[in-house]
Chain A
Amino acid sequence: MAEKTYEIRITRQDPDTGEKTKSFYQIPVIPGMTVLEALWYIVDRIDGSLSFRYSCRGGVCGSCSMQINREVQLACQVQLSMLPQGTIIIEPLPRLSVIKDLVVDMKPFMNKYNSVQPFFANKKLPQQGEMVQSAEQRTDIEDSVKCIMCGACYVVCPLVYKDADFMGPAAMAAAQRFAFDSRNEQGKQRLVEVNGLGDFHGCLKVGKCSHVCPKGVDPARRIEEIREYVEALSKNN
């Protein structure tokens, strides 16, 4: 009897010519093997020319987001045995330009994240000790701080697809995180003063971002919270 294997099909792209090809690999069945481990298996044992990103292999660093059977996921969190039978299809994140194989250019995503000025810049600080924040106040940011910048929400957002300037869900969740943090002296007003309002209105409420987020940030809900604040603001004016 032939040894049982998984077949994996990977979309490749040559960095020099831009030519796209598909490579097929047979991977032996090893209990618990993740897609990321399978990719390393390929590089170490079959084809050293394959390129992908990796770091923590434990679902916290956000490096290995890619399309697995057409779903955007972290390769380190998907075990081969969890996938339906048949060839496993692995492709780079969509809508970002490919550097090589599964490595895409994350800079547009990162730049948009940075553009919301995602940082504290409090001028008044306590002389002694910490700024007090109740556990309840902290719940306003407890989901948005879980973001690992994997870009999954960004590449599935239909508005990012339509409008290259749209900041996208992760950056908006970061905007929410800083505006809704009870300790930030800029307060929610920061959404108007720092971030402008255009993109918050732009969200089409499709909710794909929350569906693909591997960490439960729920960007759609975060954007909704921003919208509720902004609408209350315009009513008051």
Chain B
Amino acid sequence: MNYDVIVVGSGLAGLRAAIAAIHGGASTAVLSMVYAVRSHSVAAQGGINAALGNVDPEDNWKNHAFDTVKGSDYLADQKAVCRMTEAAIPTIYEMEHWGTAFSRLPDGRIAQRPFGGAGKQRTCYAEDRTGHILLYTLFQQSVRNKAVFYDEWMVIDLVIEDNKCVGLIAMDMNSGELKSFGAKAVIFATGGAGRVYGASTNALICTGSGIGVAYRAGIPLKDMEFVQFHPTTLFGTNILITEGARGEGGYLYNRLGERFMKRYASEKMELAPRDIVARAIRTEVLEGRGFENAYVHLDLRHIGEEKLNERLPGIREIGLKFAGKDIVSDPLPIQPGQHYTMGGIDCDIDGKTKVDGVYAAGECACVSVHGANRLGGNSLLETIVFGKIAGDHAADYIASRKDAVNQSLLKNKLDAKEKFVSDLQSSKGKEKVGVLREKLRSTMIRNVGVFRKLDEMKEADKTITELKERYTKISFTHPSRKFNLELLTAMEMETMLEIGHVITEGAIRRTESRGGHYRVDYPERDDENWLKHTICTQGENGEPVFSDSEVDISIWEPKERKY
């Protein structure tokens, strides 16, 4: 099959990109591992930032941009941030005009709630199901625009010739067959790599598969060592408990009944940015003031049943179904968990990567608008704003590209991948891929987590090298390719090992603390040496090779970050 534009991934970024490409006149298909409405965007809870000024008439997009830059610990590119926060306002209105059922103020305008690291009350929301409501809107608009979907297809290789996009190779998960797709433009919108970690809030599908495909095709990754740990995930399952719970007035308490945030962010308290709150909770637990040496309490009881039902019904449901706790009468046991991949496929302000015709948008991309720490409510915004930008640019690009797609190259790549999968399936070792995956996850969360120590990271690096070796000795229970979870896991695992490697070595290399990356041995930010993006490409022997690139600080001068 041939299309002008293929979008990989069907979350918010992917669907918005597809709609833009269709509007731009491109024949467009969306390939996704899951049906569109199953994408991880659906799980976003608290909201989406835009300086509408509905609650706080003094707000404007420049305030939003500054909060974002400060929140990023000055690693975000400032012009890119401004582009996002200025576009935020028309983006929200467009979504609303497409039917998004935002929660409302008494006068009928879109409601906005306070969120972490924000100077104004600017997070638009739909109860605590904002991602779900937005994703359904874009899915519905995709139906309206007659988007072509390949549901349950896994992209496994990108085909490039003379630094130009030719297409990709993908597996139909239901039949197990591989197919090649010609496309002059490919937009990656495959989400983050949270499941490289244990204790992640992410959907099980967030294994970084798209990031891995781009990386193996020679496209650089950026800032991968910056991983966000969300302060409030449910103890046990690590299901997300939205920052909106604190935005609505929730308190954090330790075992001694102290609102301990006063020690870490005396002004912003529970609404300090996520990296700061996550470290505060870990510190309380490490210093013996947590419960069961593992968690603290998020207390919402004082907010009252009526308001909790109105603003946080999903959180009440999660508490009841997954922890047996009713937020009306019980505090929730919470701990930090892996939440967001700040880094990703290196792309510019238009979503373009170094390969002509290959774009990235959303969590899999690194523009960078989040820098070292993303503010809550900015990820949904990034997906829609940069999804549209990538889709628009891809449509323009294909209109300018007159050459025909090299079909014989596609065929050769398809044959090569066919052999790769057959070889993988016929390997005769004793290792179980699921066991290796658990080892990787437990290593990453333990050794490359909230607080990072050199010896622990080196141990993780060694473990990953060993796991890569053991990975060559995996075997399979079953030869079929049809919806074979073991095979799919094995293909994802190749990527997860690469990404774990890039995160770990990037974290070892960056000898400073900034945003989500905290080095116990280098506790200060070091602008002199490290105010720069980390760039990583795959070396000839598969090893990560690092370099740097400049951060755009043309608008605000970096300052110490205090809350």
In the complex, B424 has a CB within 8 A of chain A: no
In the complex, B402 has a CB within 8 A of chain A: no
Q: Out of B99, B103, B126, which one reaches A119, CB within 8 Å?
A: B99
Q: How far is the CA of A137 from the CA of B66 in the complex (A)?
A: 36
Known: A130-B109, A148-B132. A15 touches B483 (CB 8 A): yes
A48 with B40: CB separation less than 8 A: no
In the complex, B355 has a CB within 8 A of chain A: no
A181 with B108: CB separation less than 8 A: no
Q: Out of A54, A57, A142, A149, which one reaches B101, CB within 8 Å?
A: A142
A99 with B483: CB separation less than 8 A: yes
B174 with A61: CB separation less than 8 A: no
B203 with A61: CB separation less than 8 A: yes
B483 with A60: CB separation less than 8 A: no
B483 with A55: CB separation less than 8 A: no
User: Chain A residue with minimal CB distance to B481?
Assistant: A15
Residues of chain B with a CB closer than 8 A to A55's CB: 34, 38-40, 203-205
Known: A55-B38, A142-B101, A145-B133. A118 touches B143 (CB 8 A): yes
A61 with B37: CB separation less than 8 A: yes
Known: A56-B38, A61-B42. A121 touches B144 (CB 8 A): yes
Q: Mark A58-79, 1 if CB is under 8 A from B, else 0.
A: 1111110000000000000100
Q: How far is the CA of A77 from the CA of B106 in the complex (A)?
A: 35
A35 CB to closest chain B CB (Å) equals 13
Q: How far is the CA of A49 from the CA of B476 in the complex (A)?
A: 9
Most interface-central of A48, A135, A141, A145 (chain B CB within 10 A): A48
- Which stretch in A39-47, A156-164, A223-231 binds the other chain? A39-47
B17 CB to closest chain A CB (Å) equals 18
Q: How far is the CA of A121 from the CA of B103 in the complex (A)?
A: 21
In the complex, B408 has a CB within 8 A of chain A: no
A192 CB to closest chain B CB (Å) equals 20
Q: Give the contact-size bracket for chain A.
A: 35 or more
Residues of chain B with a CB closer than 8 A to A106's CB: 35
B484 with A58: CB separation less than 8 A: no
A117 CB to closest chain B CB (Å) equals 8
In the complex, B438 has a CB within 8 A of chain A: yes
Residues of chain A with a CB closer than 8 A to B433's CB: 44
A138 with B35: CB separation less than 8 A: no
Known: A135-B106, A141-B101. A129 touches B322 (CB 8 A): no
In the complex, A184 has a CB within 8 A of chain B: yes
Q: How far is the CA of A58 from the CA of B129 in the complex (A)?
A: 12
Interface residues of A in 13-34 (CB under 8 A from B): 15-16, 32
B486 with A61: CB separation less than 8 A: no
Q: How far is the CA of A198 from the CA of B261 in the complex (A)?
A: 59
Residues of chain B with a CB closer than 8 A to A16's CB: 480, 482
In the complex, A236 has a CB within 8 A of chain B: no
What total of chain B residues lie within 8 Å of the partner, measured CB to CB? 62
Residues of chain A with a CB closer than 8 A to B559's CB: none
Closest CB pairs A-B (n = 10): A44-B434, A48-B486, A48-B477, A49-B478, A120-B99, A132-B108, A119-B140, A51-B483, A119-B144, A61-B38
B101 with A15: CB separation less than 8 A: no
Known: A61-B37, A119-B141. A125 touches B42 (CB 8 A): no
Q: How far is the CA of A145 from the CA of B140 in the complex (A)?
A: 12
Q: How far is the CA of A125 from the CA of B90 in the complex (A)?
A: 13
In the complex, A100 has a CB within 8 A of chain B: yes
Q: How far is the CA of A81 from the CA of B92 in the complex (A)?
A: 43
B66 CB to closest chain A CB (Å) equals 24
Residues of chain A with a CB closer than 8 A to B477's CB: 47-49
- Which stretch in B222-230, B233-241, B342-350, B388-396 binds the other chain? B233-241
Provide a sorted-by-A list of 16 A–B residue pairs whose CB atoms are within 8 angstroms: A16-B480, A53-B34, A56-B38, A57-B237, A58-B203, A61-B43, A100-B174, A101-B483, A103-B483, A110-B35, A118-B143, A125-B97, A149-B35, A149-B37, A181-B99, A184-B99
In the complex, B98 has a CB within 8 A of chain A: yes
Known contacts A55-B38, A61-B39, A99-B174; 16 additional CB pairs below 8 A are A32-B237, A43-B486, A45-B435, A47-B477, A48-B478, A51-B483, A61-B34, A61-B42, A106-B35, A117-B144, A119-B99, A119-B141, A120-B99, A132-B107, A138-B104, A184-B99
Interface residues of B in 52-110 (CB under 8 A from A): 92-93, 96-99, 101-104, 106-110
Residues of chain B with a CB closer than 8 A to A184's CB: 99
B101 with A138: CB separation less than 8 A: yes
B97 with A58: CB separation less than 8 A: no
Known: A48-B477, A48-B485, A49-B477. A59 touches B321 (CB 8 A): yes
A133 with B104: CB separation less than 8 A: yes
In the complex, B317 has a CB within 8 A of chain A: yes
Q: Mark A95-113, 1 if CB is under 8 A from B, else 0.
A: 0000111010010001000
Residues of chain B with a CB closer than 8 A to A44's CB: 432-435, 437-438
B132 with A48: CB separation less than 8 A: no
Residues of chain A with a CB closer than 8 A to B92's CB: 130
User: Chain B residue with minimal CB distance to A120?
Assistant: B99
Residues of chain B with a CB closer than 8 A to A141's CB: 101
A141 CB to closest chain B CB (Å) equals 6
Known: A57-B203, A61-B38, A145-B133. A119 touches B143 (CB 8 A): yes
Residues of chain B with a CB closer than 8 A to A58's CB: 43, 203, 237, 239-240, 318, 322
B89 CB to closest chain A CB (Å) equals 9
B273 CB to closest chain A CB (Å) equals 24
A183 with B434: CB separation less than 8 A: no
B480 with A60: CB separation less than 8 A: no
Residues of chain A with a CB closer than 8 A to B106's CB: 135
Q: How far is the CA of A142 from the CA of B129 in the complex (A)?
A: 11
User: Chain A residue with minimal CB distance to B136?
Assistant: A145
A56 with B40: CB separation less than 8 A: yes
B483 with A100: CB separation less than 8 A: yes
Known: A132-B108, A135-B104, A181-B101. A45 touches B204 (CB 8 A): no
B489 CB to closest chain A CB (Å) equals 8
Residues of chain B with a CB closer than 8 A to A47's CB: 477
B245 CB to closest chain A CB (Å) equals 15
Q: Mark A173-209, 1 if CB is under 8 A from B, else 0.
A: 0000010010110000000000000000000000000
Q: Mark B472-501, 1 if CB is under 8 A from A, else 0.
A: 000011101011111001000000000000
